[in-house]
Amino acid sequence: MRSALIYLLAGIGGFVIMALELLGGRVLAPYFGSDIYVWGSIITIFMLSLSLGYLGGGRLSLHAPSLSKFASLFLIAAVLLYPLVYFAEPLMEWVFDRIEDPRYGSLVAASTLFILPTVTLGFISPYSVRLLVETAHRSGEVAGRLYFVSTLGSALGTLMTSFYFVLWFEIDTILTGLAGTLLLLAALGYIGNRAT
């Protein structure tokens, strides 16, 4: 039951990461266009943030790991998503006024908008491994299953966002929905923590 919950959280975490990455293109386009370098900026920033997140999540898992700390990661990520809804425009305006070249403009804008939430989301995977692994013997299997779930979540997040969400909702609505989902997952984690 506890491990099912962790897999669920990690899977939806993967969903949110890719949904966010795809929306990044839409958020930046009005200021920096939709050229290949805009996608280059976004993907670079997401990969960089995730790599840092993995490192951080692994380090954090050394100190008294618990489901409630795990749930707090989702809470923090949710809170860090909100500036994207409320401050993205003035921030991109500020960057646009200072950096003429849209390549570096989009890179700087993508960093300021996406690094913090994505780093936090990157903490999830290694931390999940720590919570799930009971014996060294099964650690590979657990890690494999975890990659499976979170990458499957990412695939689904990509598909749903690009095929349907953008057709049904406004960008800010989707972002708010993602933040709301993360809050819900945090709540689930806290409840799970008390139940076990």
Distance CA 174, CA 132 (A): 31
Query: What string marks each residue from 81 to 110 as x (binds another protein by CB under 8 A) or -?
Result: ---------------xx--x-x--------
CA distance 37 to 80: 25
Verify binding: residue 19, another protein, rule CB under 8 A: no
Among 34, 51, 66, 68, binds another protein (CB under 8 A): 34
Give start and end residues of each alpha helix (H) in the chain: 2-32, 36-60, 67-86, 88-98, 102-122, 124-132, 139-159, 166-168, 171-195
* Binding of another protein by 39 (CB under 8 A): no
User: Rule CB under 8 A: is residue 157 a binding residue for another protein?
Assistant: no
CB of 92 to another protein, least distance (A): 10
Comparison of 95 and 186: residue with beta carbon closer to another protein: 95
Rounded Cα gap, residues 103 and 115, in angstroms: 17
Q: Interface with another protein includes 31 (CB under 8 A)?
A: yes
Q: Does 36 bind another protein (CB under 8 A)?
A: yes
How far lies 140's CA from each of 62, 117, 119, 124, in Å?
A: 18, 28, 24, 17
Nearer to another protein among residue 68 and residue 87 (C-beta): 87
User: Applying CB under 8 A, which residues contact another protein?
Assistant: 26, 29-36, 96-97, 100, 102, 163, 166-167, 169-173
